[in-house]
């Protein structure tokens, strides 16, 4: 009992990788003797991040189709064949009890082959608009764990389980003290604090917005924790001051959330799930440069529930100051947004996903 073997496949972005790692960690907690193998795309960030988390990974020669005719597109059929063949070898050698796909191109060949060999497969779709790989796999898998309602637009209704997206354990607990958190960043207590999140790499347009509005924030009486990302730290570090803390990366996100009163963020699936648990007023500025514009769709799903404010990049110059001022001055709006976004939180997502995996392998354990 517990000597299970699990393959987890997904990657390309942190939004696909970190959920897979969280699921693996929960499976390992329940089944300490289990064996794990991750399968990703060669030369993508999972080849670095997964070993850092303590797991073995193998890479497939696979990538997505480009929107215009390129040499990479001409190579695509060969990459698919190569990846299907290598996936077949991995399944035969490793003999998994279950395969979990979290999106990204590498999960396509792996789940296609595994399901064809009768291995129970689970998909985890993070976004409100399903990714292309998961849509292609919908008829091959046994269960599809989702984070939003109305996902039967993309998947068979009888396979869908609404679990939410895995988030970090320290955020589910959210025990950080606000004053302690402000002290950690060297900021004052009793002063409204804005947290700006552009992701680990950073968001160019959000950084430009904040830099252009520093005088506005000062006049408004707001202090900032500004995660500009590692690509932009050299450009924006000069704005560090007593009231503006510029960081490339945050090691203590629990402190960042605890210190903040209001948040400006991209709308990737992982960020949205975290912010629902955090329960603070949020202005989402979705990236328009992602597949199928899924960040805008994620943000709109919350805005439609009066749980967040959606501001498109194209609207920032014309609308940002008014939108922020209205929110800053309206305590009732802040309270309403915070309460409504909290209602959408699904803090037990990782456990619920693993419950579904255990049902498939026929041994739901007591937890």
Say yes or no: 126 and 224 in one domain: no
> Is 127 known to sit in a ligand binding site?
yes
pTM metric for this prediction: 0.84
So what's the pLDDT on residue 365? 41
The Cα 309–Cα 299 span in angstroms is 8
Range of the domain at 183: 170-343
Residue 365 lies in a domain: no
Residue 366 lies in a domain: no
> Is 279 known to sit in a ligand binding site?
no
First-to-last CA distance in the chain? 15
> Is 241 known to sit in a ligand binding site?
no
Say yes or no: 81 and 180 in one domain: no
Say yes or no: 191 and 158 in one domain: no
> Is 251 known to sit in a ligand binding site?
no
> Is 15 known to sit in a ligand binding site?
yes
Say yes or no: 351 and 320 in one domain: no
Total domain count, the chain? 2
So what's the pLDDT on residue 41? 86
Residue 121 lies in a domain: yes
Specify the CATH number for the domain of residue 282. 3.40.50.2000
Query: Tokens standing for 229?
Result: 């990302």
> Is 153 known to sit in a ligand binding site?
no
Say yes or no: 52 and 161 in one domain: yes
Residue 237 lies in a domain: yes
Residue 203 lies in a domain: yes
Residue 92 lies in a domain: yes
Question: What's the count of helices (H) and strands (E) in the chain, helices before strands?
Answer: 16, 13
Say yes or no: 174 and 266 in one domain: yes
> Is 295 known to sit in a ligand binding site?
yes
Residue 367 lies in a domain: no
Tell me the per-residue pLDDT of 172-230, one tens digit each, with 9 for 90 and over.
666 789 999 999 999 999 999 999 998 766 789 999 999 999 999 999 999 999 999 88
Say yes or no: 232 and 318 in one domain: yes
Helix, strand or coil, per DSSP, at residue 23 = helix
Say yes or no: 129 and 33 in one domain: yes
So what's the pLDDT on residue 206? 96
Say yes or no: 136 and 223 in one domain: no
Residue 62 lies in a domain: yes
Say yes or no: 126 and 219 in one domain: no
- Kindly give the confidence (pLDDT) of every residue in the chain, 367 residues in length, as a single tens digit, with 9 standing for 90 and above: 458 999 999 887 777 888 999 999 999 999 999 999 999 988 788 888 899 999 999 988 776 554 555 566 666 667 777 778 899 999 999 999 999 999 888 899 999 999 999 999 999 999 988 988 899 999 999 999 999 989 999 999 999 999 999 987 666 666 789 999 999 999 999 999 999 998 766 789 999 999 999 999 999 999 999 999 888 999 999 999 999 999 998 888 889 999 999 999 999 888 999 999 999 999 999 998 877 788 999 999 999 999 999 999 999 999 999 999 999 999 999 999 999 999 999 989 999 999 999 999 985 343 3
Q: Which long-range CB contacts under 8 A does 114-120 form with residues at least 24 apart?
A: 114/7, 114/87, 115/140, 115/141, 116/140, 117/91, 119/91, 120/360, 120/361
Say yes or no: 140 and 201 in one domain: no
Q: Tell me if 285 sits within 8 A of 203, measured CB to CB.
A: yes
Say yes or no: 65 and 154 in one domain: yes
């Amino acid at each position: 009992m517990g000597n299970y073997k699990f393959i987890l496949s997904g990657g390309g972005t942190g939004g696909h990788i970190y959920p897979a790692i969280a699921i693996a960690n929960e499976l390992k907690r329940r089944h300490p003797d289990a064996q794990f193998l991750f399968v990703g795309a060669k030369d993508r960030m999972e080849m670095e991040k997964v070993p850092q988390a303590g797991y073995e990974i193998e890479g497939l020669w696979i990538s997505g189709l480009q929107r215009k005719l390129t040499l990479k597109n001409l190579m695509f059929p060969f990459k698919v064949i190569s990846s299907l063949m290598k996936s077949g070898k991995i399944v035969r050698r490793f003999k998994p009890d279950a395969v979990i796909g979290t999106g990204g191109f590498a999960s396509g060949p792996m789940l296609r082959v595994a399901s064809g060999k009768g291995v129970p497969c689970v998909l985890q779709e993070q976004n409100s608009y399903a990714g292309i790989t998961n849509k292609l796999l919908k008829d091959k898998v046994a269960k599809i764990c989702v984070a939003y309602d109305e996902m039967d637009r993309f998947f068979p209704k009888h396979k869908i389980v609404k679990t939410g997206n895995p988030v970090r354990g320290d955020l589910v607990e959210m025990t950080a003290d606000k004053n302690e958190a402000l002290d950690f960043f060297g900021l004052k207590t009793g002063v409204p604090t804005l947290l700006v999140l552009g992701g680990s790499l950073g968001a160019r347009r959000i950084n430009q917005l904040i830099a252009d509005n520093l005088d506005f924030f000062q006049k408004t009486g707001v202090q900032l924790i500004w995660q500009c990302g590692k690509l932009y730290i050299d450009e924006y570090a000069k704005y560090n001051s007593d009231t503006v803390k510029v960081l490339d990366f945050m090691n203590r996100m629990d402190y960042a959330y605890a210190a903040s009163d209001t948040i400006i963020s991209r709308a990737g699936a992982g960020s949205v799930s975290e912010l629902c648990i955090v329960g603070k007023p949020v202005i989402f500025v979705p990236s328009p440069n992602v597949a199928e514009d899924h960040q805008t769709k994620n943000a709109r799903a919350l805005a439609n529930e009066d749980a967040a404010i959606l501001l498109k990049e194209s609207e920032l110059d014309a609308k940002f100051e008014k939108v922020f001022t209205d929110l800053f001055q309206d305590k009732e709006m802040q309270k309403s947004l915070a309460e409504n976004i909290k209602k959408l939180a699904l803090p037990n997502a990782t456990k619920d996903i693993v419950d579904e995996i255990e049902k498939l392998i026929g041994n739901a354990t007591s937890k």
